[in-house]
Amino acid sequence: MKAKYLAGAAALALFAGAASAQDLKFPVGEGAFNWDSYKAFDEATNLDGQSITIFGPWRGEDQVLVESVLAYFTAASGVTVNYSSSENYEQQIVIDTQAGSPPDIAVLPQPGLIADLASKGFITPLGAETETWLKDNYAAGESWVSLGTYAGKDGAPALYAFPYKIDVKSLVWYSPDNFADAGYAVPESMEDLKALTEQIIADGGTPWCIGLGSGGATGWPATDWVEDMMLRTQPASVYDQWVKHEIPFNDPAVIGAIDEFGAFAKNDKAVAGGAGAVASTDFRDSPKGLFTSPPQCYMHHQASFIPSFFPEGTELGTDADFFYMPAYAGKDLGKPVLGAGTLAFITKDGEGARAFIEFLKTPIAHEIWMAQAGFLTPFKSANVETYGSAALKKQGEILLNATTFRFDASDLMPGAVGAGTFWTGMVDYVGGKSAQEVADAIEASWPK
C-alpha cells in the first residue's frame, strides 16, 4: 500500500518503436556511463524484428524515465518494446494472467502479489545463473535473492523476480544549519541517536517531528518506524519470521520493537506537539517543523520521497539533508536497510523477455535512470558518479553499504493486517495503549 505513495500520476502509457541514435537520452560513448557493458550486450544480442510487451507501475513522469531506459534496450537488441500501465495495475495483471493474455514482462512493487502469481504457475523462473548473478553483483546479494524467491505451483522455491529500482526508508532528515547552530553531530549509532535525542531535550529543544495522519491510511508511517526497529534489535531471520507469521505478532521481539518506537513517539518532550499530536498530524505536514525559526524539531524519520512535502524552495544538501537511520553499535547486526522497490518477472517466456532480464544485468540499464531522477540501485558495478544529484548518490551509497536489505514488512503481510490493523494499532499505541495490548489485537486479526 505504501508503495502507492511513491507512484506517479495515473495515466495509460504506451511506448513502441525501434530506437534510433537520436532517441537516446545520453549519446553512446559520452559521460561516466559504463558504455562497454552496453556495447557488449549490443554485440551479443541480435533480435531484430521481435517485440515484447512490458506492463509496469510507472506512469506520468516515471513513464518518461522508464521509456528513456527502454530505448537503449531496443537500440541494442533490436526488440521493439510496447510498455503499458494502468492506474489499477495490481488488479490488471491478475486479470491478464488469469485470462491467458499476460505481457511478456511484468514489473510490480508488491512481492506478495508476485509470490501469489508464482504459486499459480503464471511466472517463469529466472534460473540459477541469475540467482548467482544477484548474489555476486548486488550489495547484500542474499537479501535480493530472498526477496525474489517464491514457491512455484509445484511448491518448490525458485528465483522468479529481478529487483530493479529501489526505494530507501531507513533515513532521518534534518536541517544542517540547525544542527550546526546547536553544535549537534550526525549520530553514527542508535546509542548516539538516543543520546542526541536526550541532549536536545536537555537543551530545551524538541528532537522529533512525527505525524501518522494519512486519511484512511492513518498510522502507516509508524509501521516504518517499527520495521526499522525490528531490523535494529533482531536478526533479519526474525524479521522474516514476523512477516511470514512464523512467530506471532505479539512475540516479545515485536513488542520490543514497538516500544523502541514508543521511546521517541510517546515521549511528550521528544516529539513536537507532544505524544497526543502524533496521530493527528498529517505525515505530509510533519517535516515542516524542521524549517521553522526557531525549529519546532530537529529530526524526522521518513523515506526518500518526503522532500516532495518540504517547503517550496528547500534545497537538498543545504537547507535539508539526511543520514542513515543507524544501527545499535552493541548488537552486531550490521547495517540493515529498510525499503521498497519494484521487481521484474517473466509472464510469457521467450527470447525477447529473456534478453530484457539480461539487459537489467548491465550497468547501463541502471545508470540511464540514475542520471535523471528517482532511481536507486544496489548494483555494485553501476557508477555512483552517474547519479543525477548528491542526494541520490548518498542514498545509493547507503544501499551499497547495506549488509542486509529487507522489504517493507507491512506491504508483505496480509492486507487485513499490513494495511489494516497494523495501521490502526499504531494509532492506538501512540494514543495510550501498551505495545502488548496493541500487538495482541493485531495478532488476533491475522487471517486464519
Helices (H), 99-235: 111-119, 128-137, 141-147, 176-182, 190-202, 220-233
CA distance 343 to 280: 34
Report angle CA 378, 237, 430 to the nearest 5 degrees.
Answer: 90
Place of cell 516529539: 271
pLDDT in tens, the chain (448 residues): 444 333 333 333 333 333 444 489 999 999 999 999 999 999 999 999 999 999 999 999 999 999 999 999 999 999 999 999 999 999 999 999 999 999 999 999 999 999 999 999 999 999 999 999 999 999 999 999 999 999 999 999 999 999 999 999 999 999 999 999 999 999 999 999 999 999 999 999 999 999 999 999 999 999 999 999 999 999 999 999 999 999 999 999 999 999 999 999 999 999 999 999 999 999 999 999 999 999 999 999 999 999 999 999 999 999 999 999 999 999 999 999 999 999 999 999 999 999 999 999 999 999 999 999 999 999 999 999 999 999 999 999 999 999 999 999 999 999 999 999 999 999 999 999 999 999 999 999 999 9
C-alpha cell belonging to residue 434: 501498551
Up-side HSE of residue 11: CA atoms within 13 Å toward CB?
13
The residues near 4 (Cβ < 8 Å, ≥ 6 apart) are: none
C-alpha cell belonging to residue 181: 547552530
Residue 24 has phi, psi (to 5 degrees) of -80, 130
Q: What is the 3-state secondary structure (H, E, C) of 401-425?
A: HCCEEEECHHHHCCHHHHHHHHHHH
* Contact status, residue 222 vs residue 408, Cβ threshold 8 Å: no
- Looking at residue 227, its amino acid is E
Judge residue 228's burial from the number of C-beta atoms within 10 Å of its C-beta, 0-12 exposed, 13-18 middle, 19 or more buried: buried
- In this prediction, residue 281 carries a pLDDT of 97
Q: Do 2-168+338-407 and 171-336+414-445 come out as alike in CATH topology?
A: yes
Q: What is the 3-state secondary structure (H, E, C) of 331-388?
A: CCCCCEEEEEEEEEEECCCCHHHHHHHHHCCCHHHHHHHHCCCCCCCCECCCCHHHCC
* Contact status, residue 302 vs residue 292, Cβ threshold 8 Å: no
Neighbours of 88 (CB within 10 A): 11
- In this prediction, residue 12 carries a pLDDT of 30
* Contact status, residue 112 vs residue 412, Cβ threshold 8 Å: yes
Identify the architecture of domain 171-336+414-445 in CATH: 3-Layer(aba) Sandwich (3.40)
DSSP letter at 309?
G
DSSP letter at 323?
E
CA distance 252 to 356: 44
C-alpha cell belonging to residue 112: 506478495
Neighbours of 332 (CB within 10 A): 8
Among 114, 77, 130, 333, CA closest to 228: 333
CA distance 344 to 114: 9
C-alpha cell belonging to residue 120: 499459480
Sorted by where each begins, the domain ranges of the chain are 2-168+338-407, 171-336+414-445
CA distance 365 to 426: 39
* CATH placement of domain 2-168+338-407: 3.40.190.10
- Looking at residue 322, its amino acid is F
CA-CA-CA-CA torsion sign (434, 435, 436, 438): positive
Element holding 299 (H helix, E strand): none
Q: What's the order of all strands across the beta sheet hosting 321-324? A: 300-301, 171-174, 321-324
- What is the pTM for the complete model shown? 0.93
- In this prediction, residue 7 carries a pLDDT of 35
Q: Kindly list the distances between the CA atom of residue 447 and the CA atoms of 118, 226, 248, in Å, as whole numbers in the listed order.
A: 21, 21, 12
Place of cell 486479526: 445
